Amino acid sequence: MVTAEQKALAVARLKAWIARLPPSMRDMPVLVLLGRTLTPNQMLAEAEAETQIGSIIINRELKMAGSLLGR
């Protein structure tokens, strides 16, 4: 279970990454996860809704955020 603050951090990281993407890539399927192929905007929507797949994405974003802080 993630806290509201952790979810907000993960969603903010996703939004910042998507903002840096060329617009044509934001709806391009790129992430294969649990049998689905998600676009960046779908990843964000799943994370915001905290679906099963969204929770996995949030956890990985938080892990990367922690990993980057540790470097």
Partner 1 sequence: MPISNNIVTTRPAFDLPTRYLSYWLGITVEHAKRLRYNVADLAGADATKEKLYQALVGLDPLFFLGGGHGEVDVFTGDDRQVLLNSENAYWMAERLTYLFSCLTGQKLSKDIIGAGGEAFLGYNEEFGFVVSPPYIPATDPKARGFMEAGNAIALSLLRGYSVGDAYNAGVKKFNDWIAYWEKSTDPLAPLILTWLESDRDSLVAWGNSTARLSVEKREEHPTGLWPAFLAAGGVITGLVLATL
Binding residues vs partner 1 (CB under 8 A):
17, 20-22, 25, 28-35, 37, 40, 56, 60-61, 63-64, 67
Q: At what angle do helices 40-49 and 52-69 cross, to 10 degrees?
A: 100
Q: Are 43 and 16 in contact (CB under 8 A)?
A: no
Query: Measured from the CB atom, is 2 or 31 closer to partner 1?
Result: 31
Minimum CB–partner distance for residue 20 and partner 1 (Å):
6
Q: How far is the CB of 34 from partner 1 (least distance, A)?
A: 6
CA distance 71 to 66: 9
